Structure 1
Amino acid sequence: MGRQASAARNDLEHMLSHENEQPKALPLSLLEDITDGFSENRQIGSGGFAVVYKGMLENGTVAVKKLFERLDIPDNKFNEEIRCLMKVKHKNIVRFLGYCANVQGEMVGYDGDFVMADVRQRLLCFEYVPKGSLDEYIKDASYGHD
């Protein structure tokens, strides 16, 4: 892990124990490292827009939400989502810790040739909540009700 990822790991660990810290940009290399390369055994949830992984740190655990690459969310919409998440502070809402918006060029086949394409990876990092997702509780509570 590089110096940038190591410093970001320290920042993220610090944020877990200091609730007043502001969310920060996090390098992709850190999020890959703490989720064991986004391995299947770290996957804790998935939906129509993303897969969520458990990220392990020295002093705690985080949830890393990796948005599907095929989603074509304009930069301004993603930026607005981050701005909104940064403003939300409430005891009943999972705390937003950071984000990653990574773009990397990749050679891909197109019309019998190779072209450079931008591959976007967008991730959000939250405090980990160990008792499952809210929708499980809602389904359990409404069991037998219309």
Structure 2
Amino acid sequence: MLCNYGVDIIVGSHPHVVQPIELINSYNNDNSTLVMYSLGNFISNQRKELMGSPYTEDGLIVNIEITKDTNKNKTFVSKADCIPTWVNKYQNSGKNFYEIIPIENKSQLSHISNLPMNLIEQSYTNTKSQIKESNIINIPNISFN
């Protein structure tokens, strides 16, 4: 309904897991709305071993480009680049540390030591399945093989 009133972006939060991202159109196709139902956890101690679900370790960074068409006096979302993230928890000198790992390309990940690549790959797969790609919504394609 908000799309029908000209809303361009809706960002949801709180479920602590990544939920679908999609572009919806108004009933008369005059407006499109980028809907991000939940971006998951950016940083959290909600771990698989504590919560029973690996999805709470996943999150998203979304870079949104907004364009103004001065001829039509209309503003719209022209691009949404989604970067999946995974929260890496590790210990050093008896202290817990949390590190946000952007999952943009495999070569970038190989420079970080001791990453559990199987968990990162699963996080990427889970997150990618929630994003409905289009000419506006993009997510990096990564091969873990």
TM-score (norm 2): 0.27
The structure carrying a bigger helix percent of its residues is 1
TM-score (norm 1): 0.27
